[in-house]
């Protein structure tokens, strides 16, 4: 699974923000959401609100107090009424008055804005005031002095509606007003071909909260109580961005001027479940507090998402049978278990499944993997018959043996040799440095008698390069 930091993801998306509208042709459908505010709104809140609209479409264009959503690819999932009510709720969360929000639909951004502001797109009905709405649909609000003079010129010439502009040959306007009229014509007649800059969220995935030292938060439970709202807000944002958490970092600021305490939590699989995240956070914090108790109360906590992963949209997986439902439940339990075990054990790599490889060296003939599904019938490695029978147990580090006549000497003592099998020669990779370089071993299955008189069968090899005898496995 490819892991990238949140910053890299933002940079990558920003570099491809300009989408060639020609590829979409005239199938665009723009829905405009105008906050209806007379003055520019709080930038940070507006960016967060715009980001939350990613849950409806990946194509957003942000203007002044307005956002345009390109809905041609997702329109079958929503209608304007449900969208309006959901957007109203989202706006309320960021402190905007949802009762003054206006909506409009059009084939192009200028058309959608004009529809939103004037409730009409008919050129014969639109007043001349809409002239600048066509030219600058993203930012135009109220005309400044220069623009008011322009509009008065039009009115002096008897132009009352946009349609009346076309009673005069276009060339006349172009000569008189140049680029401005050119932009008007282009936006009016070819608006679908314009490349509008898509919105890319650059707000870092960081949330923080602060409280008084008198509240005396010094243990894991107290911290969890204050972390939960931060986690809720972050998860809400990640839901809109269609990503999951792979790694988060908590920064605890203490009451005294001492270095902040940082706690990092990584997950084997990207996580979206708030319940599980909270459980894992509680587990991690409890262990941290046990190991290194806090000397002073915490007064501020900051939660930052350092790495994200692609989120699988499970809500679109429809379970049509009990079997599918059961499989989904098992998969959820599997992911939860793996995440929890990764936290419990020292290294996340200590939880794994195995998969055979084609390497000749026995210790490299398998590798650690971790599947995201517990399906037991996933894969059967077809290796039977390719090699002689391998021992049940393979030592992580081969033990050095010494042959003393009819005995083998190990650290644990002397073992009498009962029988030795035919040799099996394994060698290769003289040319492949990446594979670990050359090796040359001769393996034997040796039956030995232990101290209690019982019989064991060992897998012993002689390293032809070093001339040493090693115990590698036990049957």
Partner 1 sequence: MKNRVPLEALKSLLQEQAPVRARRDLGVLPGSEPPHPLRAGQIIEVLGEGRWGWCMRLLRERESSRAAWLSLDQALLFPMALAQEGIALSRILFLERVPALQGLDVLLPVLRSRLFEVVMMDQGLLPRMRQDAQIRKVQLTAEEAGAAVLVLSQFPTNSYGVQVRVETGPGREFRLEKVKGGTGE
Residues forming contacts to partner 1 in the complex (CB under 8 A) are 330, 333-334, 336-337, 340-341, 344-347, 350-356, 362, 365-366, 371, 374-381, 383-384, 387, 389-396, 454-456, 473-475
Query: Which tokens go with 221?
Result: 């439970």
DSSP label of 112: H
Q: How far is the CB of 380 from partner 1 (least distance, A)?
A: 5
Closer CB to partner 1, residue 241 or residue 280?
Answer: 280
Q: How far is the CB of 398 from partner 1 (least distance, A)?
A: 13
Residue 264, φ and ψ in degrees, nearest 5: -110, 140
Closer CB to partner 1, residue 225 or residue 387?
Answer: 387
Residue 278, φ and ψ in degrees, nearest 5: -65, -40
Distance (Å, whole) CA 447 – CA 442: 16
Q: How far is the CB of 377 from partner 1 (least distance, A)?
A: 7
Reported as half-sphere exposure (CB side, CA atoms, 13 A), residue 264 has a value of 5
Element of type H or E holding 279:
helix 274-291
User: Any bridge partners for residue 417, and if so which?
Assistant: 448
The answer to whether 398 and 466 have CB atoms below 8 angstroms apart is no
Q: How far is the CB of 351 from partner 1 (least distance, A)?
A: 6
Distance (Å, whole) CA 244 – CA 229: 17
Q: How far is CA 219 from CA 31, 37, 124, 377, in A?
A: 48, 44, 69, 45
Measured from the Cβ of residue 50, the count of other Cβ atoms closer than 10 Å reads: 23
Q: Whose structure tokens read 């599918």? A: 324
Closer CB to partner 1, residue 81 or residue 291?
Answer: 291
Q: Whose structure tokens read 């958490």? A: 245
Distance (Å, whole) CA 341 – CA 350: 9
DSSP 275-340: HHHHHHHHHHHHHHHHHS--SS-EEEEEEEEEEEEEPP-GGG----SHHHHHHHHHHHHHHHHHHH
Report the Cα 428 to chain-centroid distance in Å: 42
Residue 263, φ and ψ in degrees, nearest 5: -125, 125
Q: How far is the CB of 399 from partner 1 (least distance, A)?
A: 13
Distance (Å, whole) CA 255 – CA 274: 29
Closer CB to partner 1, residue 152 or residue 326?
Answer: 326
Distance (Å, whole) CA 382 – CA 375: 18
Q: How far is the CB of 219 from partner 1 (least distance, A)?
A: 20
Closer CB to partner 1, residue 150 or residue 447?
Answer: 447
Closer CB to partner 1, residue 78 or residue 334?
Answer: 334
3-state secondary structure of 68: strand
Element of type H or E holding 245:
strand 243-254
Closer CB to partner 1, residue 193 or residue 390?
Answer: 390
Q: How far is the CB of 375 from partner 1 (least distance, A)?
A: 7
Closer CB to partner 1, residue 172 or residue 392?
Answer: 392
- Closest Cα to residue 360, out of 450, 430, 264? 430
Closer CB to partner 1, residue 26 or residue 356?
Answer: 356
Closer CB to partner 1, residue 83 or residue 401?
Answer: 401
Q: How far is the CB of 287 from partner 1 (least distance, A)?
A: 10
Q: How far is the CB of 299 from partner 1 (least distance, A)?
A: 32
Q: How far is the CB of 469 from partner 1 (least distance, A)?
A: 20
DSSP 375-394: -TTS-----BTTBSPPPSEE
């Amino acid at each position: 699974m490819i892991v990238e930091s949140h910053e890299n993801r933002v940079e990558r998306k920003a570099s491809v923000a300009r989408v060639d509208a020609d590829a979409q042709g005239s199938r665009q459908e723009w829905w405009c959401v105008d906050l209806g505010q007379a003055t520019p709104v709080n930038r940070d809140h507006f960016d967060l609100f715009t980001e939350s609209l990613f849950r409806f479409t990946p194509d957003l264009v942000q203007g002044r107090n307005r956002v345009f959503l390109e809905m041609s690819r997702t329109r079958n999932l929503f209608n304007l009424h449900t969208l309006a009510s959901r957007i109203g709720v989202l706006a309320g969360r960021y402190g905007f008055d949802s009762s003054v929000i206006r909506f409009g639909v059009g084939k192009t951004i200028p058309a959608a804005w004009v529809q939103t502001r004037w409730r009409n797109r008919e050129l014969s009905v639109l007043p001349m005031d809409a002239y600048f709405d066509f030219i600058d649909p993203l930012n135009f609000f109220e005309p400044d002095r220069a623009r008011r003079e322009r509009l008065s010129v039009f009115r002096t010439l008897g132009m009352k509606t946009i349609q009346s502009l076309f009673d005069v040959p276009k060339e006349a306007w172009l000569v008189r007003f140049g680029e401005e009229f050119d932009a008007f014509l282009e936006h009016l007649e070819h608006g679908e071909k314009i490349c509008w800059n898509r919105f890319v969220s650059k707000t870092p995935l960081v949330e923080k909260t602060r409280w008084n030292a008198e509240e005396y938060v010094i243990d894991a439970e107290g911290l969890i109580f204050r972390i939960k709202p931060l986690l809720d807000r972050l998860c809400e944002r990640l839901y809109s961005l269609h990503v999951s958490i792979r790694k988060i970092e908590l920064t605890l600021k203490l009451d005294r001027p001492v270095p902040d305490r940082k706690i990092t939590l990584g997950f084997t699989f990207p996580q979206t479940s708030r319940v599980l995240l909270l459980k894992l956070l509680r587990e991690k914090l409890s262990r941290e507090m046990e190991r290194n108790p806090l000397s002073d109360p915490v007064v501020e906590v900051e939660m930052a998402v350092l790495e994200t992963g692609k989120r699988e949209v499970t809500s679109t997986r429809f379970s049509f049978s009990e079997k599918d439902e059961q499989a989904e439940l098992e998969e959820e339990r599997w992911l939860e278990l793996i995440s929890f075990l990764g936290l419990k054990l020292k290294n996340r790599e200590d939880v794994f499944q195995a998969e055979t490889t084609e390497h000749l060296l026995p210790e490299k003939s398998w590798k650690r993997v971790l599947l995201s599904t517990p399906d037991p019938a996933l894969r059967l490695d077809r290796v039977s018959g390719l090699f002689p029978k391998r021992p049940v147990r393979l030592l992580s580090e081969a033990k050095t043996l010494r042959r003393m006549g009819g005995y083998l000497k190990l650290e644990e003592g002397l073992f009498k040799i009962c029988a030795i099998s035919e040799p099996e020669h394994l060698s290769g990779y003289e040319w492949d440095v990446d594979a670990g370089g050359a090796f040359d071993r001769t393996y034997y299955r040796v039956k030995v008698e232990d101290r209690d008189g019982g019989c064991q069968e060992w897998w012993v090899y002689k390293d032809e390069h070093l001339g040493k005898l090693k115990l590698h496995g036990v049957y």
